[in-house]
Structure 1
Amino acid sequence: MHDTSSFRKMLVGAGFFCATCIAAVIGYSIAGWSLVDSLYMVVITIFGVGYGEVQPINTPSLKFFTAIIIIAGCSSGIYVVGGFVQMIAEGEIQRALGVRRMSRGIEQTTGHVIICGFGRVGQMLASELKELDEPFVCVDSNPERIAMADELGYLVVTGNAGEEETLERAGIERARVLATVLPDDAANVFITLTARELSEEIEIIARGESTATQRKLVRSGANHIVLPAAIGASKIANMISCPNAASLLTDPKQSERLRSDLHSLGLSIHEYPIDSASNVIGSSLSELQSSCEGGMMVVAIQRADGTLLRNPESNQDIRAGDTLFIVADYTQRVTLTKATQMKRPEMRYRGQHTS
């Protein structure tokens, strides 16, 4: 609001300044001066250069007119500059007051939750905590996400949650729970280590994309680990009770409910047919998962003869003609497509080739 007022003041001043210049040129032209002389006189008069009159000002009316031009031109110029300075000053003051008010609000908060990462999962978590009337502080290094949280009225701290200073500003010594929900497993492990060093009592809930990270998070001091891919896979495995798993995707009611549940976890389900030339034939499901760096889970395999294997073991082999039903993070879609559809390299022997 203040910035708008300052900008309006600048526009008014600029308009008045232009009107003064135009009126001055017209006035000197009426006095018999040329257009070039009139324009030059206006410039050196309003900006106070003082090179001297281009033509004699020897009548009282012309002197009075010049004096009015000087006063009006300088006043409007000062008005424009004043509005510009006001806009900058008010913005800085409001920013300083906002930071101070935010800092004071965090200092007065106890027994709160610290949300590390205000991405998709962090935003959903903050929304749920707000509905439950639970106090929380959002920590993120992305200015745009912090600005979004600030607009929603949340307490925020800008910085890397893996640094002690950032967590201290978030009030970790008074917090009850720390939830690190970044999509980066390494970052979540590092944040967990830092938080546990700063507080032995705080409850730490960490997000992990792969089962291998789960052990690291436990060793780092996390009390609870949430694996979105595993949760989604378990949900789908429980839902698969019909002869054909594909009906989960084709039946409108089941498909809508399934996709909605998975979307809330940041996951999606995809169908990947394995043709006879695929590079993954003969590999186990665990090997496929390792090549995709986690964040995915095979919830069903439909064999070429129609046999459905629900919730298959990790050592289950992949065969030609199989259809894999995979729950994965959105970011894994391209990686999974490449992994399941990659062709085996051709080999040549004495002019003949095989695949």
Structure 2
Amino acid sequence: MRVGLTVLVSTCLIAIAGYVVAGWSYIDALYMVVITIFGVGYGEVNPVDDPRLKLFTLAVIISGCSSALYVLGGFVQMIAEGEIQRAMGARRMSQEINALSGHAIVCGFGRMGRNLIHELDHLGVKFVVIDCDPERLADAERHGTLVIAGDAAQEEVLQQAGIERASVLATVLPKDADNVFVTLTARELCEKIQIIARCECPTTERKLIRSGADGVVSPTMIGATRIAHQIACPTVESIVENKQAFNRLNQDLDVFGLQMVEIEIHEESIFVGATIHDLETSGDGATVVVAVKRANGDVIKNPKMCDEIRGNDKLVMLSHQEDLAPLCDDSVGDPIQSAEPAVPLAV
């Protein structure tokens, strides 16, 4: 198309210049070129009596019409090939999904979904990804992943993913309500399939179990339990001092989109006098306090919900990265990233 357009534009410019040299005005020359190349043929603006001008006009017709048809053909070919390849790719993917049996269905291709399918691929487990975001699906498809575009809570979408032949379904959507709907729909379609659901709010776990989930995973609680265990562990200092081991811990937390920070509670903070329960429930239930360091140096590991927050306390907290900013603003203190070894050592 670029070659054809180059020839077409060059032909038009040369033709206009040629008619101008023959004594025509610019507007007459442009009009003559347009009706000649595009085959309108209203008639010559000025008489074409000179044999040289006739030959020149013939060359303009041959070159201009050929290049215009070449460009048009290239455009049609580009559209046709793209549609054919898209249709063939969708048909091939549909055939591959229909041939699967005992596979996993992953609902959601966000941060957690990406890491999940990476692990499944590493373990050799066959899987299908369902998501509504075209950009995410295009990215997954470029890596050879079998994808289905649509809402995983819709029966036809799950049937298209082969839920009656699948062995497990994992719904890792960011919203708890969406995971509940997917669980309900999947359990209604297939009684035997194993369903594993993600939840953020602790109260959602019971709803997911009642909806038919066989297992519920809370990224926040998993991260909090692991960090609390390492804080309480006598060998925690050796783990922290080992840079490789500490980085591995941070990588594990990042899989779930979590971050551990140490926040200092200033005297004027709104949290002074509140309880651990008040702080953890001030958001959406996705923040957990794993340790409290008093101003006198005392450290409370695995603090109770009724423990009171005092001025100049330092709280080691686990939360989603996007939820930390409001907490830090309310505490009137800046978070210290957990990647700094000095934070856990202080705890």
Q: Does 1:331 align with 2:322?
A: yes
**1:295 match:** 286
Q: 1:323 to 1:251 in 2, by over 3 A?
A: farther
Aligned residue number for residue 225 of structure 1: 216
Q: 1:203 aligns with which of 194, 217, 222?
A: 194
The 1-side partners of 2:109 and 2:148 are apart by 11
Contact 2:111 2:256 in 1 (8 A): no
- Within a 5 Å distance, the mapping from 1:256-295 to structure 2 comes to 256-295=247-286
The match for 1:322 is: 313
Match of 1:167 in 2: 158
CA contact (8 A) 1:292 1:339 kept: no
Distance 1:248 1:110 in 2: 43
1:89 to 66, 70, 80: 80
CA contact (8 A) 1:248 1:258 kept: no
Among 130, 139, 151, which residue is 1:148 paired with? 139
The corresponding residue for 1:234 is 225
- 1:102 paired with 2:93, answer yes
Distance 2:116 2:318 in 1: 22
Following superposition, the deviation at residue 92 of structure 1 comes to 1.3
Separation of aligned partners in 1, 2:263 and 2:239: 15
Corresponding position of 1:70: 61
- Report deviation, 1:61: 3.6
Which residue among 305, 311, 326 is the counterpart of 2:296? 305
SS in 1 for 2:158: helix
Shift of 1:326: 0.5
Range that drifts further, 211-220 or 170-179: 211-220
Please say if 1:54 is aligned against 2:45. yes
Task: Quote the offset at 1:165 in angstroms.
Answer: 1.4
> Which residue in the other structure is 2:343 paired with?
none
Correspondence for 1:352: none
Question: Which residue identity lines up with residue 147 of structure 1 in the other structure?
Answer: A
| Gap change, CA 1:246 and 1:303, over 3 Å in 2 | farther
Matching residue of 1:125: 116
Tell me the SS of whatever aligns to 2:262. Answer: strand
CA contact (8 A) 1:240 1:248 kept: no
Q: Across the two proteins, how many residue pairs are aligned to each other?
A: 333
Deviation at 1:127?
Answer: 0.8
CA contact (8 A) 2:103 2:127 kept: yes
How far off is 1:327 after superposition? Answer: 0.8
Which residue of structure 2 aligns with residue 186 of structure 1? 177
Displacement of 1:284 = 2.3
- Is 1:112 aligned to 2:114, yes or no? no
Counterpart among 9, 27, 31 of residue 18 in structure 1? 9
Give the SS at the match of 1:240: helix
* AA partner of residue 297 (structure 1): V
Distance 1:109 1:46 in 2: 56
Q: Report the residue type matching 1:220 in the other structure.
A: S
- Deviation of 1:156 after TM superposition, in Å, equals 0.2
Q: Assess, with a 3 A threshold, how the Cα gap between structure 1 residues 337 and 80 changes in structure 2: closer, same or farther.
A: same
Conserved? CA contact 2:103–2:165, under 8 Å: yes
Structure 2 unaligned spans of 5+: 334-347
* Mean CA deviation greater in 159-168 or 62-71: 62-71
C-alpha displacement of 1:287: 2.3
Native 8 Å contact 1:283 1:317 kept in 2: yes
Q: Which secondary structure does the structure 2 equivalent of 1:153 belong to?
A: coil
Contact 1:13 1:77 (8 Å CA) reproduced? yes
Deviation (angstroms), 1:248: 8.4
For residues 59 and 261 of structure 1, what CA distance do their matches in structure 2 show? Answer: 84
Contact 1:272 1:340 in 2 (8 A): yes
Q: Following the alignment from structure 1 to structure 2, what is the Cα–Cα distance between the partners of residues 30 and 153?
A: 60
